[in-house]
DNA sequence: CCGTAACCGAGACGGTACGTCACGTCTTGAG
DNA sequence: CTCAAGACGTGACGTACCGTCTCGGTTACGG
């Protein structure tokens, strides 16, 4: 006969599941509490884990939140809608949808704020969020070039700089719209943005 | 006849000097400590003021930092450099210079992060930072229209939406470049950005 | 079979040394500062302990001071000096000596004052100070009855009421002499008091 | 030529009504809040008076409360009930009734506690409360001597010491019964106390 | 009957302590 | 060894009063 007090308490290796549980608990806490009221003690409780376990794996709140948020952006997919404009609209809408989620908004901006004073954190964000999603720009450009919508790049260095710039413009615009202007990046806005991005301000309005 | 709610309230009036000292101390603390390690007690000490004085005037850290940061952006001026492209480059460089300052970076992002869970704070940011600087877009466009570089708008509502969009694109791009990509928004970058903004991606690269 | 609410609770156990250090620090602070200027932060510092540790164990200043003061009265011993009068004089002098100590004066009166508005505190004082020392009256009476100096009680309830009354008279007189009249309860006063207690006012003065 | 330190000082005289209002407000606050939660700001508000007015007249909370409480004991009257025992019972019951009032309990004990560390306060209490009520002992003794219930004193110094002792015993017993034992000093208790006071413990119980 | 000096209310000020909370570390017992 | 539980020292929080200090305004004497 077994002890009543340990119905599911079967032995050792929880270690593997713990990481996922902690990151999920972190996102849940971000939704409910926001970054500044999120506490590691609370995350540990939600994840059914001791505080010490948590500190064994992450240096602190910032690192934990970066990892928890980074996973969110891996859902992004570049759709094939037949034209560059439509592809951009599609991916920007996806990005806007993710940024509209409270755990993304609150967590992302906070760690970026923290990263201004923490070189290691800045690098962690760049590597696991920014660089990781830059693939979308590269794929999109390649596809547009294949379609003949964009000219082929000649100098690879120049190509890289341009990709970075486009990423800054696209991601920056959505972030600013969503968080600073506090307006939804909805279909209408995305259409207008895409037109400006592709044709510029100088072109006469249709 | 005078207002019944007396023009000079009873009791000792609030020290005018204190406000300025507190905001300056807040910026100094942001530079040295960053947002998350900034404490109101420390700000009070730096300003030579009691903590209670600080709480009498601001609801908390967030509101204080918004006010302290908002003042930074009032330095922005739209230069008249003779062409729309040059004007944009000029103002974007100024904006980039301000955003490069540690008190702006750390403070601005953090309050935006907080604002995702605080409607009043979001409105405060919009009013005292975002809307306040939108004037630059409006002036710039008017000047470009006077020069014939941009067509006159026909529908005022459409004009307003476009101004908002341009502001999101410009400010967003600088913010993303500076904070997410963690690269300087230097003259070269600003030139590239301005070209994309004015002519779009579709135009063949020179 | 063991208790289900485990005999040794989980987690790090409370430091045994801390309790003693805190009570000693409390008495030291009472001596130096008195009750009203005693702060829990200061007690914690003196005891080499964090403020939170203190709050984990006591509900507040009052409860802490009661415990610190209660220990003082446990020194009281009923001497055997051969006669009821001599025994009373001996114990009253001891009691006066304790009450003359600043930590006792200041602390005891203050918590009694507080207890007028706090039922739980009143009960704590009664249990850990008043009832605890009533033993002296009971022992003294038993000894005097053994010597034939006092008649045996017949009704136990009456005996209890009388013991309470004697305790009120003895302790009250010393308290009043020491604190209200602010005069020392010295040997001469104790002798006079004992004579009145034993023979009453009506007896002609020798 | 007039005195330079004018007999009636120049300027607006202090409001006579304010003093009474403040003392009444102090007692009301003692009833509602007790000593430790009584604040001078609150007393000022209750009295319809500015805090500064209050500080102009009293040095602090302690002095104010002494004055407020002292007035309570001036109600005490020595009744003429025909015998020493009956007179004592009468006055002790009156004293017990006053001490049962929350403003007396809370305020009196607290200032006595404070007085253990403040010579001036100790003297103020002695003068305006203790000495002031000692008259009851003197009158009572004189009346009992006139009736032949007590012998005449021969040495005036001895007489004074005895009066002090009796006051300590009587007042102390009531205080201890009421506040330390936290039991009512009701008629039955007062009768028992009076019998012990007059005949002593050695006398066999009737 | 007018000046003036001390009073008054209101309330902001620099402080101190409060009691709470989260931090990140540590110490225990169980497995 | 790793884990959960939880106590620990530290330090900031936001609040409440302290006693002091301006303020503008109001008496009531005394010249």
For each of chain A's 206 residues, which pLDDT tens digit applies?
Answer: 333 334 444 445 556 788 899 999 999 999 999 999 999 999 999 999 999 999 999 999 999 999 999 999 999 999 999 999 999 999 999 999 999 999 999 999 999 999 999 999 999 999 999 999 999 999 999 999 999 999 998 899 999 999 999 999 999 999 999 999 999 999 999 999 999 999 999 875 44
pLDDT digits (tens, 9 = 90+) for C109-155: 999 999 999 999 999 999 999 999 999 999 999 999 999 999 998 89
Domains and CATH numbers, chain B: 16-57 (1.10.10.60), 70-199 (1.10.357.10)
CA distance A175 to A187: 15
Nucleic chain E contacts, protein chain D, residues 22-51, CB cut-off 7 A:
48-51
Closest-CA residue to B80 (of B138, B139, B134): B139
The pLDDT value given to residue B6: 54
The reply to whether D40 Cβ lies less than 7 angstroms from strand F is yes
C–D contact (≥3 CB pairs within 8 Å)? Answer: yes
Chains in touch with A (≥3 Cβ pairs < 8 A): B
- Asked if residues A179 and B115 have their Cβ atoms less than 8 Å apart, the reply is yes
Q: Which residue has the tokens 């609030």?
A: B14
pLDDT digits (tens, 9 = 90+) for D183-192: 999 999 999 9
The reply to whether A51 Cβ lies less than 7 angstroms from strand E is yes
- How does C129-154 read in b/e, with b if 16+ C-beta sit within 10 Å? bbeebbebbeebbebbeeeebbeeee
Mean local confidence (pLDDT), C190-198: 97
Taking CB atoms and an 8 Å limit, are C201 and D126 in contact across chains? no
Q: What is the CA radius of gyration of chain B?
A: 20
Q: Is the pLDDT of residue D120 over 60?
A: yes
The reply to whether C102 Cβ lies less than 7 angstroms from strand E is no
CA of C41 to C1' of E18 (A): 9
- Residues of chain C contacting D199 with CB distance shorter than 8 Å: 199-200, 202-203
Taking CB atoms and an 8 Å limit, are B106 and A122 in contact across chains? no
- Residues of chain B contacting A165 with CB distance shorter than 8 Å: 189, 192-193, 196
Residues 6+ apart with CB under 8 A from A182: B115, B122, B126
Task: Return the ∠ at Cα B134 (arms to B132 and B139), rounded to 5°.
Answer: 115
Q: Which nucleotide is nearest to C15 (CA to C1')?
A: F7
Give helix D84-99 / helix D102-115 axis angle, nearest 10°: 90
Name the closest residue (CA) to the C1' of nucleotide E16.
C39
CA distance A147 to A149: 6
pLDDT band at D7 (very low <50, low <70, confident <90, very high): low
Mean local confidence (pLDDT), C4-29: 86
CA distance B177 to B171: 10
CA dihedral D172, D174, D180, D181 (to 10 degrees): 130
The reply to whether B26 Cβ lies less than 7 angstroms from strand E is no
The reply to whether B49 Cβ lies less than 7 angstroms from strand E is yes
The reply to whether B18 Cβ lies less than 7 angstroms from strand E is yes
CA of D11 to C1' of F26 (A): 11
The pLDDT value given to residue B10: 85
**Residues found in chain B:** 206
Could you list the beta-strand ranges (E) of chain B.
Answer: none
Provide the shortest C-alpha distance from residue A86 to chain B (in Å).
14
- pLDDT by residue for chain B (206 residues), tens digit each? 334 445 677 889 999 999 999 999 999 999 999 999 999 999 999 999 999 999 999 999 999 999 999 999 999 999 999 999 999 999 999 999 999 999 999 999 999 999 999 999 999 999 999 999 999 999 999 999 999 999 998 899 999 999 999 999 999 999 999 999 999 999 999 999 999 999 999 875 44
| A 138-177: CB under 8 A from B | 149-151, 161-162, 164-169, 171-177
Mean local confidence (pLDDT), D43-58: 96
Q: Is the pLDDT of residue C4 over 50?
A: no
Mean local confidence (pLDDT), D134-151: 95
Mutation for B interface: A112, A142, A189, most B CBs within 10 A: A112
Provide the shortest C-alpha distance from residue B122 to chain A (in Å).
8
Residues 6+ apart with CB under 8 A from B26: B38, B43, B64, B65, B67, B68
Q: Is the pLDDT of residue C192 over 70?
A: yes
pLDDT digits (tens, 9 = 90+) for D15-49: 888 899 999 999 999 999 999 999 999 999 999 99
Nucleic chain F contacts, protein chain A, residues 47-66, CB cut-off 7 A:
48-53, 56
Helices (H), chain C: 16-33, 40-47, 51-57, 61-73, 84-100, 102-115, 119-125, 131-133, 135-147, 156-175, 187-199
């Amino acid at each position: 006969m077994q002890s009543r007090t340990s119905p599911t308490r079967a032995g050792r290796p929880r270690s593997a599941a713990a990481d996922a549980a902690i990151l999920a608990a972190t996102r849940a806490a971000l939704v409910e509490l926001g970054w500044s009221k999120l506490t590691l003690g609370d995350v540990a409780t939600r994840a059914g884990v001791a505080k010490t376990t948590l500190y064994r794996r992450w240096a602190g709140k910032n690192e934990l939140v970066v990892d928890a948020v980074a996973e969110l952006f891996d859902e992004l997919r570049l759709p094939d809608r037949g034209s560059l404009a439509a592809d951009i609209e599609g991916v920007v809408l996806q990005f806007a949808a993710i940024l509209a989620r409270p755990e993304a908004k609150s967590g992302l901006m906070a760690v970026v704020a923290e990263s201004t004073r923490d070189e290691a954190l800045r690098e962690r964000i760049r590597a696991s969020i920014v660089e990781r999603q830059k693939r979308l720009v590269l794929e999109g450009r390649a596809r547009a070039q294949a379609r003949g919508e964009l000219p082929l790049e000649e100098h690879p260095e120049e190509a890289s700089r341009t990709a970075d710039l486009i990423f800054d413009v696209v991601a920056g615009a959505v972030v600013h719209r969503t968080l600073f202007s506090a307006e939804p990046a909805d279909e209408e806005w995305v259409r207008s943005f895409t037109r400006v991005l592709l044709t510029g301000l100088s072109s006469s309005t249709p």
